[in-house]
Amino acid sequence: MDAISVIRTKRDRGELSPEQIDWIVDAYTRGEVADEQMSALAMAILLNGMNRTEIARWTAAMIASGERMSFDGLSRPTTDKHSTGGVGDKITLPLAPLVAACGAAVPQLSGRGLGHTGGTLDKLESIPGWRALLSNAEMLDVLDTTGAVICAAGDQLAPADKKLYALRDVTGTVEAIPLIASSIMSKKIAEGTGALVLDVKTGSGAFMKTIEDARELASTMVALGTDSGVRTVALLTDMSTPLGLTAGNALEVRESVEVLAGGGPRDVRDLTLALAREMLDAAGLKDADPEKALDDGSAMDVWRRMISAQGGDPDAALPVAREQHVVTAPASGVLTRLDAYDVGVAAWRLGAGRARKEDPVQAGAGVELHAKPGDTVTEGQPLLTLHTDTPEKFEYALKALPGAYDVAPAGTPFTPTPVVRERIA
């Protein structure tokens, strides 16, 4: 085998053989294939695609590059969830303890934010003392004692994906649906969960801007999971508007705790419950009542135990940014649009996100929303509050916002987009 012949096959719209796929993934992981060669292949895949057989073999090769975990010793069925990323997407935080409170085990391997999308680990690291990096033994212990764990994936879990993802990020090939699907599913299958629910975002704040692309990605991942023996279902969910009323690390933790306390924004609560029902159904716990567990405090109890088990203090005060700037409504009327991407870019520029993986983030930075589409606003009332420790960032963040919202005259009809748009199984 040689890299050039593999590149030429896909460049010329051919189908990669199983042997070619196994060799190129293994050789790249071991450093025998250069970054520029894998970059060329990734671009060829972006432009020419892969069929189901190729994607399945590519995913299997990435799984084979590292270890596979097993939760066979647990007394509970395992079920997990993955989101393709968005703005204000703090759903994992209330969801994992909620599903655990209903009798399942939730091994949630999460990531960090990059660009305008937030990362679950960045949010949780705003809690004093909380640790994302756990050994496999520590992860299993937390999962066994609390029912849920949220942590970073170990270095030996699909290492081919870690190396390839970093390359895709700097070569303009992140959007390749076969590579997105295999990246997500290689980690989830190697993780060893028995069931998986995919939250595939669509809209301006998502990587999949159109529902057609989101549907293709979801269908590809459901097929990969099903073929690997993992009960898999996907929900296509709206990301044209930020989820909830906050985008930023500590801000979103605070909002998640409100949801666990039985309150919080309606869209966050509704999506949390919708995903919880899917996860419990996939785990064989159809009779569990997640709404009751959210309202009676049992989900909050699991949250507190889970945070404590990972070194965090659930009672500690969360960081607050030193500086705030208020953006007011430009007119009176009905807020008809609040763009998720623009809000996400503003939060990122304030310090809530990173441009490179090694960049630090500010725990208290972000954007607070005072109205959502469909709400009536009055000229001059607070529409958004920007939070940061570095006030010189306000000017740059504000440049993302002039086209982020529309206010129509009072009485203008408004039809909200449902949070859950489709289900694929």
Catalytic residue numbers read: 82, 161, 168, 183, 187
Q: Which two three-digit tokens encode residue 358?
A: 């090694």
**Is 87:239 a contact under the CB 8 Å cutoff?**
yes
Q: Is 330 exposed, middle or buried (0-12, 13-18, 19+ CB in 10 A)?
A: middle
Q: Which two three-digit tokens encode residue 73?
A: 């010793």
Give whole-number Cα distances, 86 to 37, 201, 235, 366, in Å: 31, 7, 14, 14
Residue the block writes with tokens 């009327």 = 333
Residue the block writes with tokens 């500690």 = 316
Closest to 85 (Cα-Cα) out of 219, 266, 253, 239? 239
Give the whole-angstrom CA distance, residue 160 versus residue 350.
33
Give the whole-angstrom CA distance, residue 11 versus residue 96.
42
Give whole-number Cα distances, 311 to 99, 130, 256, 362, 363, in Å: 21, 5, 19, 20, 17
269, HSE (Cβ side, Cα atoms, 13 Å): 15
Segment (H or E) for 406: strand 405-408
Closest to 120 (Cα-Cα) out of 88, 144, 160, 72? 88
Residue 202, classed as helix, strand or coil, is strand
